[in-house]
Structure formats: C-alpha cells, structure tokens
A and B are shown apart, each in its own frame.
Chain A
Amino acid sequence: MIESRSGKWETVIGLEVHAQVVSKAKLFSGAATDFGAEPNTQVSPVDAAFPGMLPVINRFCVEQAVKTGLGLAAEINQSSVFERKNYFYPDLPAGYQISQYLQPVVGHGRVSLDMPDGTVREIGITRLHLEQDAGKSLHDQQPTLTYVDLNRAGVALMEIVSEPDLRSAEEAGLYLRKLRSILRYLGTCDGNMEEGSLRCDCNVSVCRPGEPLGTRCEIKNLNSIRYVMQAIDYEARRQIELIEEGGRIEQQTRLFDVGRGITRPMRSKEEAHDYRYFPDPDLLPLALDPDWVEQIRAALPELPDAKKARFVSEYGLSAEDAGVLVAEKETALFFERVADRRDAKAAANWVMGDLFGALNRLGIGIGQSPVSAGQLGALIELIADGTISGRLAKDVFGEMVASGADPAAIVAAKGLRQVTDSAAIETAIDAVLEAQADKVAEYRAGRDKLYGFFVGQIMRATQGKANPTLVNQLLKQKLAG
C-alpha cells in the first residue's frame, strides 16, 4: 500500500517472464543455443526464414516446458496449438514469431512466496507457453546501421505469466527469486538475467483499495531483479502523481532508463500492434501423451518448498534458515552433504555464516567453493570431538579457504590441537593468576567483570588452544580459592 497526500493506493503488478529453455538445439531448428558465439554462426536457414524452410519441433523443449509446468503445480494441456504472431522487426526474420495464443501448453499454476514475516503468499500463474526467441539487434555498432545477429532467433522460450496478484516491488522481487530458483532446480532454465536467459516484463497499475483495477502500463525487458523492483516503485509513484494531478493513465509500453532510474515511453510509433494471430499452418496441434507427462512428473526433482519442509522436519532447522539453504539447489545439496551424520544446526550455521561470507568476499558461487562439503564436515567433526575449539576452528576455516587443504592437515601443521590436558591448563591458570595477583584480589573483592580478563589471559598464554570448558571449570575452582 502506498500512502500519498490523498490517501492510500494499491499497486497491482503482473509479471511476464521469458525464460530461455535449457536445451542443446533450438525450438524448431537444429542450430545450437550456446550463449556468446560469433554472430550468425548458430543460425539454420529455418531460423533465418529462408524461402521454403519449415519448423520441426524439438521434443526436449516440449519436455522442459511440461516439466516446468509440473514444477509450478500447473495444469498440463494435452492439446495445444502454435500460432503465428505477425509483426515486422529486423530480429524477427519471418515477419512472425511462432508462439502460442489461445491454447497454451500449460494452464493455471501457482508459486508460493515465503514472506519476511513468516507467512506464505500464493501467487497465481495464469499460463505458460512455448515460443521462439528473436535475434539481437545492435544499434550502437555503426552510426547509420543497425546490426542483426540471428544466433538467438529460434531459441526456445517459456513465457510464464503471473496473475496480477503481486502488490509491491518487494513481492515482485520475491516472486522472481522464487521462480528462478524453481527453474534452476528443474534444470529447465539457468535463470541468468545478465546473459538474458531470464527476462521480465512488468505490468503495473494503481487503484484505490477496493476499487476496480486501473489502466496498466507495461515496462519491458528488465534484466535484473533490482531493476524490476526499482522500475515498479518508480512507475507506481509516477501513475499516482499523474492521477492526483488530474491526468489519466494511457495504456502504453515503457522502458526503464537504468541511468536515471525512471520509466519512459518507448520512442517507436505508438501504433497498437495488430498481431493477426492464426494457427501456424506449417505445424499441427501439439498432442501430449499422458503416459509421457506422467513419466516427467515421476522424474521431477525435490523442489524448494518440499525440500524446505523436509529440512525443517528432518534437520530441525528454523523455517528461515531452511529457506536460505534451499534457495539454490547447489547450496541445499552442499548443506546436506555437510550435515550428513553430523550436527545439522552446526552445519547450517557454518554454511550460512562462514562459508557464505567467504564466497561473497571472493565473489564466487558455491559451485566454485575452495572448501568442499566433505572438508567442512570434517572441520565440524574436529570441533565436536574436542580436537579444536570453536574459536580456533574459524581460523582453520580461513586457512582452508585460502589453501584448499584438509582441516586435519592444517591443525596438525599449525599445532592447533586443543589442549585438554588438565594439568597443563592448571599450570597456565596458576601462572596467570600469580602474575595478576592484584586483580585476583579485586575479583575476590567483588569485581566480577575481571573473570573475562582472566579467561582472555589464559587463552593467550595457551595460544587459544585451551579447552574453554576445562578453563572455566578449573579457573572458577582456583578463583574460589
């Protein structure tokens, strides 16, 4: 809810996400889909719409779409139709895009958002359909020409349309993160917004609470979650201001100007597109074999929501911690390997704390972690069996990150084994108390705070290796006299 000088406003947001399907070849041709290839080297005459060339659908792309639909708890439509969306643009060689209009392959579904306040909000999915991606137009390579690269033309896209259920930029961000996480879990899209394998168009409108929906504006091609959220915030406020000044919202398509943080109308002719959709006569209706769909369903991996619930029940983690660990499949897998037959809570803390900290510092993902799950698990065991103290373990971890060596090796090399020999500790305590005799007197006279000082001195004297429990036990005895 946005408060303005004239009262409360509700922001209504619907997101259309275009997710590039992970596959070797394109949706209707046998050209490759790799990112970053030399221009026009991954183009079939079908992709370039040469005369007489015809589309043949890639079974795996259909499977990926069905898998995604199942992962979104959506209805799979046994029969769906490919239609041509007709318009002219240089990166659309045929002058039409093969898409789905009236009968998409996937129908209604849902995504659950874990809200920061612990509640769960369900966001509806209207539909998911398959369509061709367009090529790329480069407008900045030459002063009078636009360059066209068709490598991307024909790559399979899943267009995932949400119901207009989102009510804030924050919710939009959560939705995108969750959707991306699900797609990556399924392996149907790598969710890489920088490379453009996940793109988002935003429909934003505002209205008074309880009143009918306002006119929406579409903001196109946002390629980071941060920009989506910024654009929504800006656009909502723009619309509210405009209405409050007595203006009317025109339905228009806008772009987000990253530099200035504003949305502005697209400069091209504001001609409403007449796409003249009709079923593609080069294709037949897509008929899905129910057995095949069931096979895909049976092979689905455990998805974030289910995994999170299992982490809570099986490992006793808090919902919040579980949520963090399941956000990325690789992280969840890493955690489970660390937690295997070890203290799960300790494993969670180490992964979310020290490991994430180190990865962030190094700017890498968990897939490139210099510390393996096995190594981290071994470190936790060394703490559990008393070989080293928790405090020193952090130093050992730092060394593991830097060198990639096993914790046991580092402990041995640096002689960090915890001292658990009571006699040795007693000796250290005696030495400290003798050297600090006046402070001991003060402590005994009532200055309790000095206890920590003594502990610190003892740890220093033992290079941090004294077992803290034993130190406490023996120190208290000796201070008590």
Chain B
Amino acid sequence: MSDPALLALNLAEARDGLARKLFSARELTAAYNDAVAEAKPLNAYITPTPEHALAMADAADERLALGQALPLDGIPIAIKDLFCTKDILTTAGSHILDGFHPPYESTVTEKLWQAGAVMLGKTNLDEFAMGSSNTTSWYGPVENPWRKPGDNRPLVPGGSSGGSAAAIAARAALAATGTDTGGSIRQPASFCGIVGLKPTYGRCSRRGVVAYASSLDHPGPMGRTVRDVAIMLGAMAGHDPRDSTSAPVPVPDYEKALDGGIRGLRVGIPREYRVDGMPDEIEALWQQGVEWLRESGAEPVEISLPMTKYALPAYYIIALAEASSNLARYDGVRFGLRVDGDSLEEMYELTRAAGFGAEVRRRVLIGTYVLSAGYYDAYYLKAQRVRTLIARDFARAFERVDCILTPTSPSTAFAIGEKSGDPIEMYLNDVFTVPANLAGVPAISVPAGLSGDGLPLGLQIIGRAFDEETVLRAAEVVERAAQFRHLPGFVAGGRS
C-alpha cells in the first residue's frame, strides 16, 4: 500500500488492516515516520522518535504474526509532551525542563505501550499546558494544517494540545494523547477538525503527567473519528493506585458502547451558552446539531445552567492558584535549567525568570497572589464555592437530560499573533469548555462543519460523570450526520 493510502486509514481501519495482514506494523510506522518528517513545518512535534517507533512496530509485528495482537498493536500515535516518557526528553513545552529525561513512565502512556501502541514522538504544546493557541511554547508555535482559503497567514491549532491536534489533522499521527484543564483537548480538536475527548475527572490517571492544575487536569484521547477516540480511551482509562484522585471505576468497552443508537436520548440545550457576540454561523451549526440528534430519535430539551458565566473566572482563580504551587518545584535543583546565582535565592529567582515564559509567569504570579495572606477567602474559597454551584447546575440538568449539546468554541482558528496582546481575550476562548472541567464531567468535541471562511467548527457533547458511553454514542451520531470529509490544506502524503 502506498504511503498516502496508508495515511488515509483511520485507527480502526489500520487496526483492521494489520489484523488482515494487508500491511505490516513496520510499514505503517515507516509511513508515519515519513509523515512526521514531512509535517515538520507545522512544528507539531518537539521530539520525534522514529527509531524507537520502528523498534516498537517490530515488536508489534511479532505479536501480530503469532496471532496475539494487543488492542492497539502497531498503531502509531503521538504523545503530548506533558506526559513523562521514560528516558525520553520531556519538556512540557518549557525552557525550564531543558534536558529532562524522566526515570519513569506516566501511567497513561505505560498503558498505551502495554496495549501495543507505537510512539511517533512528543508533541508541542502551550508551555505547561497554559494556553489555548499553542503560541507560548519554548519550542515555537504550532501551525494549524488548516488555512483560510485565499489567506496564507498561518493559523493557531488551538491549545494547549495544539501539537497533538495538528499532527492528527495533518495525518502525521493516527491518534494522540492530550490533556484538558480548561478545554485544551476539545478546543484544538475543534480548530483542527478532529475529535477530542475530555473524560470524567479521574478516569485517566494523572500520574506522570506534568501537573498544571491538579483538580482540573484531565488526560484524554484525540483522534480522527469518534470510534478511534473510543478505542484510545479504552486503553488509556483505568484506576491507578498511584494517583489518589484516580477513580476506582471499572472501564467499560467504549467501542462496543457505540452500538445502540440514541433513540429516546434527552439532549439538553443550555440557554446560557448563547453568548453575546457569538457568530451567527456557530449558532446555526448548533441548531443543525440539534436537528441531527432529533432525526436520530433524540429529544432536545431547553435547560438552564445559570452559573455558566462564572465558570471562566472561577476556573482562572482555581487553576492559577493550584498551578502556582505545582510549579514551585521548578527551581534548578533536581532537574532542568539552572541559572547560577551568588546565593540560593538568586539561583531560584534567575532560574525561574529565565525558565518560565510570559504566560506561565503571569499565571504563577496571579496564583500566588490569590492564595496569599488576606486574599484566600475572597478569591480561592469563593471560586471553590462557585465551583460547587456549577457542579450542582450539571447535576440538576442531568436529572432531566442524558447529555448536553453546545458549540465547542466561540470562534474558529485565528491567525498566529492575532490575539497575543490581551490575555483576557485569549481566556475567552475557553468559555464553552471550562464548565465541564470544573464539574469533572466528560465532554467531547466532534467536527461538525466548516465556517464561512473555510475553517472547522466543532460541536460539544457533555455527559454525566463516568457516562462516556452516552457521550461517545451521541457524538458518533453527530459525526455520521455531519459527514465532515474536509481535509486541511496541508496533509502528509498529499490530500486524497
């Protein structure tokens, strides 16, 4: 099979092809290694690992030959460079982790390797997962493989999992891991026209994932189709006794859960997600989504999530407070960058000043401030109370509906540099995604259509805690109805 033909197969198709011996794992991985190289201008990868990938592919081929295939055997995937991979450079997109080779593997990637997956490399991201554009990385911005027709300004892929999203969209990875703290899987998925799932909090282990905001970080899968994402989730999810916040809940067969349809499913349409200044076409696509679900037998229900508008400020207080503490360990002593100083304090200060980028610095300072003496009650405690109310909003809604449909993002991908002046403008990217992080409920973004200027738009489905099955099933209905067959301007192996 030619490279472009191989690259055109989605994960489920590639799995099938390997099982039927239409091609070997080595051939598939070699094609993807070439794709990674071809996609270099996008800057989606920080550390490609082509040799390692081939070795893993060979091991997969041995198992495949013996008929002992593991669930993801031979499937080439990309890993967001926030996941610690043993003895392989892990940077979190930051200068302060220069040269860091973890002596341990994250639980989620360990599970993926145990499922036979092949690592193509570590993908680029916003520094310490702080951002929604992948423009804050020490390793430079990532380019969205999509461009506006007639406009050759490079666009952002979204963030923070921009590298993973761009790689999948550009067919330089079959699937990828991401993390979602305020929308960092779903929003880039929407900007890049792919599928991204933020599972329930605690569904996937955080052990070995560089922490940004511990109570909001959600590792999760990204892929080309809902089925692909369901397959990845099955391998990534599971209780981890080494993560105290990991959920002791058994992992169902997510792929099997896609069967069954959505007849009788009650779908909530939250009025508060209709925000001022939301482009008409996004509102229109949302309505279209409602229709698609209705046509498949679902029942749309108007619901209210009154605390929605407080989600963003609550998120920023809680996330930044936790981040300011989580990033205190980057001090030049045990790993990463050290800038020497005449005294210990000077070493700390110079190392962290040089090692952290502007956005990270901003967030650490605010986080430090909101926790500081006299402000804890007014900011952090207040935000945690609002968070309880947001969670209650969802709990109340889920008494009347089984899932909720909203747009993923209030806009399409913007040009690199277009929104860099104002942090708050950047924060508003997350307005639809953040509430699900605060409540810990699962949410997926599915590509639903193109905007007037030819860029992908995603729809979001939010579900009950640990009911990823309903979320995936409803998402597949949208996917089938939307028939999103569009390809970005850049695709490894050429558009076909």
Q: Hey, which bits of chain A sit against chain B, CB under 8 A? A: 45, 48-57, 84, 86, 88, 90, 93-96, 146, 148, 274, 276-278, 281-284
Contacts and interface: CB of A to CB of B under 8 A. Distances in A.
A93 B335 CA distance: 11
A471 to B, nearest CB: 77
Contacts of A95: 325, 328-329, 331
Contacts of B371: 86, 276-278
Contacts of A52: 83-84, 102, 106, 206-211
Given A48-B334, A93-B329, A274 B207 contact: no
A96 B348 contact: no
A49 B329 contact: yes
B322 A281 contact: yes
Nearest to A91: B333
Interface stretch (B18-26, B239-247, B413-421): B239-247
Count class of interface residues, chain B: 35 or more
A57 B242 CA distance: 10
Contacts, number: 99
Interface string B199-221: 00000001111110111000000
A94 B103 contact: no
A53 B244 contact: no
A284 B84 CA distance: 24
Nearest to B381: A278
Interface stretch (B115-123, B299-307, B372-380): B372-380
B491 to A, nearest CB: 33
B370 to A, nearest CB: 9
B380 A51 contact: no
18 contacts: A49-B329, A50-B335, A51-B211, A52-B206, A56-B242, A88-B345, A90-B344, A94-B328, A94-B329, A95-B325, A95-B329, A96-B328, A278-B321, A278-B325, A278-B376, A282-B244, A283-B244, A284-B244
Chain B CB within 10 Å — which of A51, A90, A274 has the most? A51
Contact of B245 (A53, A276, A282): A282
Contacts of B213: 281
Contacts of A57: 244
Nearest to A52: B208
Given A54-B242, A56-B244, A86 B207 contact: no
B490 interface: no
Contacts of A282: 211, 214, 244-245
A55 B210 contact: no
A90 B206 contact: no
A50 B97 CA distance: 11
B215 A54 contact: no
A276 B214 CA distance: 17
B334 A49 contact: yes
B136 interface: no
B376 A50 contact: no
Nearest to B243: A54
Contacts of B368: 276
Contacts of B243: 54, 56
Contacts of A283: 244-245
Contacts of A56: 241-244
Interface in B50-106: 83-84, 90, 92, 97, 100, 102-104, 106
Contact of B103 (A45, A93, A278): A45
A308 B210 CA distance: 55
Nearest to B83: A52
Chain B interface SS verdict (over half): loop
A51 B213 CA distance: 13
Interface of B: 83-84, 90, 92, 97, 100, 102-104, 106, 206-211, 213-215, 241-245, 321-322, 324-325, 328-329, 331, 333-335, 344-345, 348, 368, 371-373, 376, 380
A96 B324 CA distance: 11
B44 to A, nearest CB: 22
A50 B104 contact: yes
Contacts of B100: 51
A86 B367 CA distance: 12
A152 to B, nearest CB: 16
Contacts of B345: 88
B373 A274 contact: yes
A100 to B, nearest CB: 15
Contacts of B328: 86, 88, 94-96
A94 B345 CA distance: 16
Contacts of B380: 278
Contact of A45 (B104, B333, B348, B373): B104
B322 A274 contact: no
B207 A54 contact: yes
B245 A86 contact: no
Contacts of B333: 90, 93, 148
Contacts of A93: 329, 333-334
Nearest to B321: A278
B348 A88 contact: yes
Contact of B206 (A54, A86, A276): A54
A95 B344 CA distance: 14
Given A56-B241, A56-B244, A86-B325, 6 more contacts: A51-B329, A56-B242, A88-B328, A95-B331, A276-B376, A282-B245
Nearest to B92: A51
A112 to B, nearest CB: 38
A276 B326 CA distance: 13
Nearest 6 pairs of A and B residues by beta carbon: A95-B328, A281-B214, A276-B371, A281-B215, A52-B208, A49-B329
B369 to A, nearest CB: 9
B97 A51 contact: yes
A280 to B, nearest CB: 8
Given A52-B84, A52-B207, A84 B325 contact: yes
Contact of B210 (A45, A51, A96): A51
Given A94-B329, A276-B368, A54 B334 contact: no
Nearest to A88: B348
A148 B97 CA distance: 20
